[in-house]
Amino acid sequence: MRKIILSTESGADLPKKLADRSAVQIVPMHVIMDGQDYLDGTLPVKDIYDYYDRTKKIPSTTSTNANEYHDFFTKIKADFPDCTIIHIGYTSKASSSFQNAIIASEDFDNLFLIDALNVTGGLAAIVMYAVNLLEKDPAIEPDKLIEKIEAIIPKSRLAFVPGSLEFLKAGGRVSNMAYLGGALLKLKPRIELVEGKLISTKKYRGKMSSVAEKLMEDYLNQYDIDREQLYFLYSIGLDESIMQRMDEIAKENQFKNIKWMQAGAMISTHAGPGGFGIAGLEV
């Protein structure tokens, strides 16, 4: 029986322990800081914020290139001979990473690419959905698994409030930053994935403690999220009391499993310190 191996990018922010336990293969994206290229996952997030405090400059990020994907897929095939690879990729609307994976895939058989049209926790929720399907039915055929993954993509809902608008503004990945208007520094925008694009959909005012609660309230009112699993996302610097309060609200709303995920270096470069987000799958 041919084994199915799932893979994704570091921009999914899938915790290493979870990825290792589920045998999900992770290919790193890149963070460029002070003229040096770091693989995402090798650079402590704190170094990014220290660099900004010191220089008032924000690192840039780059996608995984085609050669790196080729090496990545080659290693998977070597480690798991005769396997089928299903790669669930970072949204093609915000990075060239998926296109680079397509270029590399031409040299491989039994390699399938899925554009998740999502990032960080929204991407991780899709990957973990696929993991759970495989655990329940290890003999599932690749085409059937792919069909199920593609069907869940439009149901993956991610919403987050960045901790620093300076980082968000400098990152340039949000399609409608002009929406925030002249009061940029007084606002905390809600960012969502709309057809794979990062879009600011709402503006909040106030401290992050109240904004986080309002985000959670709006998110649960807008989406009928499967109560089996909820993902909370944070960048370092988010107050512990906010995290505790979000846990309480999730339990009050009957969520059975709650998983906190820290934003890695690549995502943190765009979100800044102290950010908070929510991800889940609609029923």
Complete DSSP assignment for 7-29:
EEEGGG---HHHHHHHT-EEE--
Q: What is the pLDDT of residue 182?
A: 39
Q: Residue 179 has which token pair?
A: 């929406």
CA distance 113 to 37: 26
pLDDT of residue 17: 92
Span 11-52, pLDDT tens digits: 999 999 999 999 999 999 999 998 999 999 999 999 999 999
Q: What pLDDT score does 164 carry?
A: 75
The amino acid at 240: E
**What per-residue confidence (pLDDT) applies to 105?**
97
Multiple choice CATH, 156-281, 3.40.50.280, 3.40.640.10, 3.90.550.10, 3.30.1180.10: 3.30.1180.10
Low-confidence stretches of the chain (pLDDT beneath 70): 1-2, 168-186
Give pLDDT, residue 179.
43
How do the domains of the chain map onto residue ranges? 4-30+62-151, 156-281
Q: What is the pLDDT of residues 177-199, one digit of tens each?
A: 544 553 455 678 899 999 999 99
CATH top-level class of 4-30+62-151: alpha beta
Q: What is the pTM of this model?
A: 0.94
Per-residue pLDDT at 186: 66
pLDDT at 163: 84
